[in-house]
Amino acid sequence: MRAGDGAHFRKFYIGMNHPLFMEQQNIDNRLDRIEKTLRYIQENMIDVDVIITEEERRMLDESVENEKSGNLVSLEEIKNVRNKAR
């Protein structure tokens, strides 16, 4: 039989207490929980680039103090010294 030649297909309905329906509901519920958990993780994930070690914190604090006191050398000055040495 071809489609359109009067062929009829039966529709099958599964009751709410049927094991296939219950298993599908179980899968849907689990996927919902997984999606919620993933969304929570994404919203609360810490960017590893913003975490610094105690040593890095010390170096940052030291650099800020050196900048405030004018003890830093600019990159331009370093390039000038390097070029003169050549």
Domain boundaries, the chain: 19-85
- Cα atoms in the 13 Å half-sphere on the side-chain side of 5: 3
Structure tokens of 12? 């099958």
pLDDT value at position 27? Answer: 93
Q: What pLDDT is stored for residue 5 in this prediction?
A: 60
Q: What is the pLDDT of residues 4-57, one digit of tens each?
A: 566 666 776 667 777 777 888 899 999 999 999 999 999 998 887 788 899 999
Predicted model pTM: 0.41
DSSP H or E run through 55: helix 54-69
Q: How much is the pLDDT for 1?
A: 47
Contact between residue 72 and residue 66 where contact means Cβ atoms under 8 Å apart: yes
For 48, the token pair is: 């590893």
Question: Per the structure block, which two tokens stand in for 41?
Answer: 């993780």
Contacts of 7 (CB under 8 A, 6+ apart): 1
Residue whose token pair is 């960017």: 47
pLDDT at 70 > cutoff 80: yes
